[in-house]
Structure 1
Amino acid sequence: MACCRRTRSGPPRTARPTRAAISSGFPSTPKTQGARMERLDLEVKFQAAEAGLISGYASPFGGEPDSAGDVIARGAYAASLKAHREAGTMPLLLWQHDPTQPVGRWLDMREDEKGLHVTGRLVLETVRGAEAYALLKAGALNGLSIGYRAKRAERLPGGARLLTEIDLIEISLVSIPAASTARITSVKTAAVAAPSAARAASNRSRIMADEQKAAAPEAANDMEDRLATVEETVTSLDTRLAAVEESVGNVAKAAGRIEQKLARPGIITKQEEPGEIQTKAFGSYIKHGDAAGAELKSLDMATNGGGYLAPTEFVKEVVKNLVQFSPIRQYARVISIGAAEARMPKRTGTLTAAWVSETGNRAPTDPTYGEITLTPHEAACYVDVSNALLEDNAYNLQGELAADFAEEFGRLEGLAFVSGTGTGQPGGILTDTTVPLVASGAAAAISADAIINLFHALPGFYAANAVWGMNRSTIGAVRKLKTSDGHFLWAESLAEGNPPTILGRPVIELPDMPDVAANALPIMFGDLKQGYRVVDRLSLSVMRDPYSRATNGQTRFHGRRRVGGDVVKAEAIRLLKVATSV
């Protein structure tokens, strides 16, 4: 949780502060940022000549990755700042990354040991600039976020991205920065001026002079004149005091109007969850694209290869639909990795135990271990959407894209998980030569006895969590099989939503399994949680292409995923081979 506190600068402690300086402050508001407790001091300085001047750090160097998984290297802005200086330009000062709402002008930018330090001035004559100024003074907003293009970057261990050269386009005032330390640290504001020290000194000098004149014997006849002068001075002081009180009242009224505006319905709304914010940003990207071509660090979802990472809710919708076309994903163990590959040990031999006498020799046990490497492979597809549908806000475009991507990616990976070669695609169960086979006992047919033999060929430890896998044609053949006492092997589930079973274990339909034929492998039985592993390197990236199909009035959306898979424990799976022997 980060707290913002503002301090006042003014007369020394020995001087009495004016009522204007006291009435112009607002209490700071605590704000949550992650799970860490942080404290940021927002310094508010009262200087009439510098009202609206702000400064802070727009981008910290090094440290932990921000919420987008990026780390900014020291010196990353050097080339961009040099280019701006040579061109006599500065990055824009915007409100919430909206190019139609500039709120001021950046005056100075420099890199130091902490990060990119910026100084700018808000244009208080504009409505948005005045509102931003009021929110900054009140401590209700102090975040900074950069709009940029990444020119050079490299991948760090663990998946974070190190940005080494950045083309800086704009820096915005935002509510939620990607980096918790990207904040405004100083706001300068005008204060109602009290009588200056010089004016007070002048008054004191005049009064002292009057007193000296009064002490002189020759001034006795001028007593009435001196009294008139003193009365005039008191009247002048009363007039100035009334003006100060009137100014204080104006400041109090202005503060009341600001507080009333901040509390007005529609100005401060319910804080949205991060997932909702990302989903809205992703939906806006799909419908309208990114006209600035810049990555926004307050809601950064960009990938190295172009496009945007889909938010969590969208990915969940795609994965939910994927199961319909790639059921192995539902039953296998799925892990996410941040490296180019995942390596894990694989035991290829078993220990050998034997009974021995008390002092007899123990036979050596030589288990053999190997290593299996799971490499994610890239899968890509695209969907064409009518521009007319994009312009229709009532059209659920995200739901449509989720269904289309799930169908295509599910079809592709479902085939690979069953019969993939492992070269440029995941390895399949049928193509793994280490998976044990069980013969059906007939050259071109299956029987109830063959199904029972396959069931009992799998060790009980794995059979307790195993599933049957076959295509729809084979399911039709198995449903007709009966045991010797006339009972069907196939049993429909009595509970709605549960799959049917064979010998008590559920059946899943794998469309890519082969039909029953000579030497085919039409039925799989195994514990896929133990036997098969799926690795996701990139869940889903979407790139919007409004140009390729522009002549047809369509926008093309390119989707890409990086997925790997392979058999990791062959002993947990059995395959039925249609043959008299294996």
Structure 2
Amino acid sequence: MSGTFEVKAVVNNVTIDDAGTVTGIAWPFGKPDSYGDLIEPTAFKFAPEVPMIVEHEQRQVVGIWNAHTVTDKGLEVKGRLFVEGIGPAREARRRLVAGSMSGLSIGYQLHEHKARPEGGRVLTDLTITEISLCRRPVHPDARTLEVKSIIEGTSMENELKKEPVVEQKSDPVASPEEMKALKARMDKLEAKANRPLAANNNHPNGDNDNSEKKAFVSYLRRGIERISPDEVKALTVSTDANGGYLAPEEFGSELIRLLNEYSPIRSYARVVNISAPEIKYPRRVSGTAATWVAETDDRTESGMTFEQVTLTPFELATFTDVSNQLLEDNAYGLEGELLADYAESFGKTEGVAFVKGTGTGQPKGIMTATGIKEVKTGVAATFPTSNPADVIIGMYHQIATSHAQNGAWLMNRNTLSVIRQWKDGTGRYLVLDPITAGGVMTLLGRPIVEMPDMDDIGAGKFPILFGDLSGYRIIDRVGLSTLRDPYSLAGKGQVRFHARKRVGADVTHPDRFVKLKVAA
């Protein structure tokens, strides 16, 4: 994987003063990100100039990173926003102050890595080429520590509310020579960002207009037999092992982002890509049996036993029919329509399976898996009238502390409506609304995830699940593959587009979960 370009977004402790710098932890150590990846402290190298950009938009350079230090906490970086020179930098500062953008994301060329036994990778050699300000981090502990501005006489939104943590610097004004050098450096970075980009995973080729995407759109509209040889070469061909068809990488990535809207469990469970028909994990059933013995007594056998957990991917498929006239008339937003259609079909079907799947011909759902503890309401078809929250508290304490501290509540919107009306003895609601934009609601200090496919409250139903969702594993065997069929519906003036993928899932650690059963 030498030279592979990757992105890691790793939010909220912001202080402000007048010095004009941004400080944060671009990558924390000791804890893997949501993909299970770790980076060794000795792995980091840096390009001669590392630009500060927003959401990895190469043409939106808002500053420069000029210092980096590897500490016990992680990779600490320090840079400066160009707030005195360009509007995007001032807008970035406004969003940082408001708290709507407080994550950091590193873009890097990966040279070497090794597999982690727990899943994911350990990155051992990489070169950082950019560090971006972002909203949604992959690593939960990466955050912006300080945001400072050189703007004078301007109050930003919410800035007055944070007055107790404002720092003052004695000399925030840059000299004319410093300003001239800074602007020259900014012009150089902007010119560099406007050049055609080298081929990598984020940017498929060096053309600004992205000929790969144009080739795929031409293939969808006119078929492989009517596009030029150069356009055919621009398409990415799935490997024989995947059994795929022509499809550019952007479409597969965009589908995954849309899937999270319909199937939020993907955002919390452990997702693994495999290249075999199935994957097996060893699971310890019983541990060692230590006993007290005298100095010369016989020792007892440990009795450690194991079993295997086998995860198998199943095929998920759909198709969309589009008329030839719509394909020929370029006013039709084909790409967006196909993405929306695939996302809805795949996302809804996959989401139901991840919750209630039988495991036969489809993934095993988290609510149908065996071995998960149950807590009952004790009242037929509903919660107890007095102190209903006692049932929830009992659930929280049914699993180990380490799992409960990483746990999340799963329920649908109807159940959440009932829970949100519960109050304590002082009249305070037990479900706390987020205090920042884009945050999550919490119950007993743990986040609530709305799962539309969970049961409603009713006799014999399971409306709530609590646990550490890393104990539910999703395996992706084949990503989105697309096949254009111009023949089946030729007599009706239509072209059929087939889409398929292979995915499986099952609970690997049932001890990390507990579910609520409403009494019959």
Corresponding position of 1:481: 422
How many residue pairs get aligned? The number is 316
Q: Provide, for residues 416-456 of structure 1, a one-character-per-residue CA deviation record: whole Å limited to 9, x for no partner.
A: 11111111110111111211112223232232111111111
Distance in 1, matches of 2:502 and 2:375, equals 34
Say whether the 8 Å CA contact 1:468–1:524 is kept in structure 2: yes
Q: Does 1:347 align with 2:284?
A: yes
Residue 576 of structure 1: CA displacement? 0.9
Return the structure number with greater relative CO, CA threshold 8 A, min gap 6.
Answer: 2
Distance in 2, matches of 1:355 and 1:489, equals 47
Q: Which amino acid aligns with 1:567?
A: V
Q: Provide, for residues 250-277 of structure 1, a one-character-per-residue CA deviation record: whole Å limited to 9, x for no partner.
A: xxxxxxxxxxxxxxxxxx9876642644
Corresponding position of 2:204: 274
Say whether the 8 Å CA contact 2:235–2:248 is kept in structure 1: no
Change beyond 3 A, Cα 1:445–1:484: farther
Q: Does 1:301 align with 2:241?
A: no
Distance in 2, matches of 1:434 and 1:402, equals 38
Change beyond 3 A, Cα 1:279–1:523: same
Distance in 2, matches of 1:482 and 1:362, equals 56
Say whether the 8 Å CA contact 2:432–2:443 is kept in structure 1: yes
Map residues 341-490 of structure 1 onto 2, 5 A cutoff: 341-354=278-291, 362-446=299-383, 447-490=388-431
SS in 2 for 1:457: coil
Q: Provide, for residues 282-319 of structure 1, a one-character-per-residue CA deviation record: whole Å limited to 9, x for no partner.
A: 22211221017999566451566986243222111101
Change beyond 3 A, Cα 1:504–1:358: farther
SS in 1 for 2:397: helix
Change beyond 3 A, Cα 1:357–1:270: closer
Q: In structure 2, list runs of 5 or more residues that go unmatched.
A: 5-194
Say whether the 8 Å CA contact 1:332–1:528 is kept in structure 2: yes
Say whether the 8 Å CA contact 2:422–2:429 is kept in structure 1: yes
Corresponding position of 1:290: 224
Distance in 2, matches of 1:338 and 1:405, equals 23
Q: Does 1:330 align with 2:267?
A: yes
Q: Provide, for residues 11-59 of structure 1, a one-character-per-residue CA deviation record: whole Å limited to 9, x for no partner.
A: xxxxxxxxxxxxxxxxxxxxxx9869xxxxxxxxxxxxxxxxxxxxxxx
Say whether the 8 Å CA contact 1:303–1:309 is kept in structure 2: no
SS in 1 for 2:345: helix
Percent pairwise identity: 47
When structure 1 is superposed on structure 2, of 499-508 and 437-446 the one drifting more is: 437-446
Q: Does 1:517 align with 2:458?
A: yes
Distance in 2, matches of 1:400 and 1:494, equals 36
Distance in 1, matches of 2:376 and 2:303, equals 31
Q: Provide, for residues 323-355 of structure 1, a one-character-per-residue CA deviation record: whole Å limited to 9, x for no partner.
A: 111111111111111111111112223444455
Say whether the 8 Å CA contact 1:309–1:540 is kept in structure 2: no
Residue 471 of structure 1: CA displacement? 1.2
Change beyond 3 A, Cα 1:355–1:507: farther
Distance in 1, matches of 2:291 and 2:373, equals 26
Residue 402 of structure 1: CA displacement? 1.4
Say whether the 8 Å CA contact 2:236–2:247 is kept in structure 1: no
Change beyond 3 A, Cα 1:309–1:359: farther
Distance in 2, matches of 1:440 and 1:384, equals 48
Say whether the 8 Å CA contact 2:474–2:506 is kept in structure 1: yes
Say whether the 8 Å CA contact 2:212–2:234 is kept in structure 1: no
Say whether the 8 Å CA contact 1:377–1:425 is kept in structure 2: yes
Corresponding position of 1:577: 517
Corresponding position of 1:311: 248
SS in 1 for 2:424: coil
Residue 362 of structure 1: CA displacement? 4.6
Map residues 547-558 of structure 1 onto 2, 5 A cutoff: 547-558=487-498
Corresponding position of 1:545: 485
Distance in 1, matches of 2:467 and 2:3, equals 42
Distance in 1, matches of 2:437 and 2:295, equals 59
Say whether the 8 Å CA contact 1:468–1:506 is kept in structure 2: yes
SS in 2 for 1:406: helix
Distance in 2, matches of 1:482 and 1:355, equals 50
Say whether the 8 Å CA contact 2:236–2:248 is kept in structure 1: no
Distance in 2, matches of 1:533 and 1:34, equals 28
Distance in 1, matches of 2:226 and 2:508, equals 46
Distance in 2, matches of 1:326 and 1:282, equals 27
Q: Which amino acid aligns with 1:274?
A: P
Q: Which amino acid aligns with 2:339?
A: A
Say whether the 8 Å CA contact 2:235–2:247 is kept in structure 1: no
Change beyond 3 A, Cα 1:489–1:271: closer
Say whether the 8 Å CA contact 2:215–2:234 is kept in structure 1: no
Distance in 1, matches of 2:291 and 2:233, equals 64
Q: Provide, for residues 193-222 of structure 1, a one-character-per-residue CA deviation record: whole Å limited to 9, x for no partner.
A: xxxxxxxxxxxxxxxxxxxxxxxxxxxxxx
Residue 400 of structure 1: CA displacement? 2.0
Distance in 2, matches of 1:383 and 1:286, equals 12
Distance in 2, matches of 1:390 and 1:284, equals 10
Q: Does 1:503 align with 2:444?
A: yes
Say whether the 8 Å CA contact 1:347–1:369 is kept in structure 2: yes
Distance in 1, matches of 2:428 and 2:296, equals 56
Q: Which has the larger Rg?
A: 1
Change beyond 3 A, Cα 1:483–1:301: same
Change beyond 3 A, Cα 1:558–1:484: same
Change beyond 3 A, Cα 1:487–1:515: same
Corresponding position of 1:85: none
SS in 2 for 1:343: strand
Q: Which amino acid aligns with 1:291?
A: E
Distance in 2, matches of 1:306 and 1:360, equals 61
SS in 1 for 2:418: helix
Change beyond 3 A, Cα 1:444–1:353: farther
Distance in 2, matches of 1:356 and 1:510, equals 52
Distance in 1, matches of 2:410 and 2:196, equals 51
Change beyond 3 A, Cα 1:353–1:402: farther
Change beyond 3 A, Cα 1:290–1:478: same
Distance in 1, matches of 2:434 and 2:478, equals 37
Q: TM-score, normalised by structure 1?
A: 0.50
Residue 395 of structure 1: CA displacement? 3.7
Q: Which has the higher helix share?
A: 1
Q: Which amino acid aligns with 1:317?
A: E
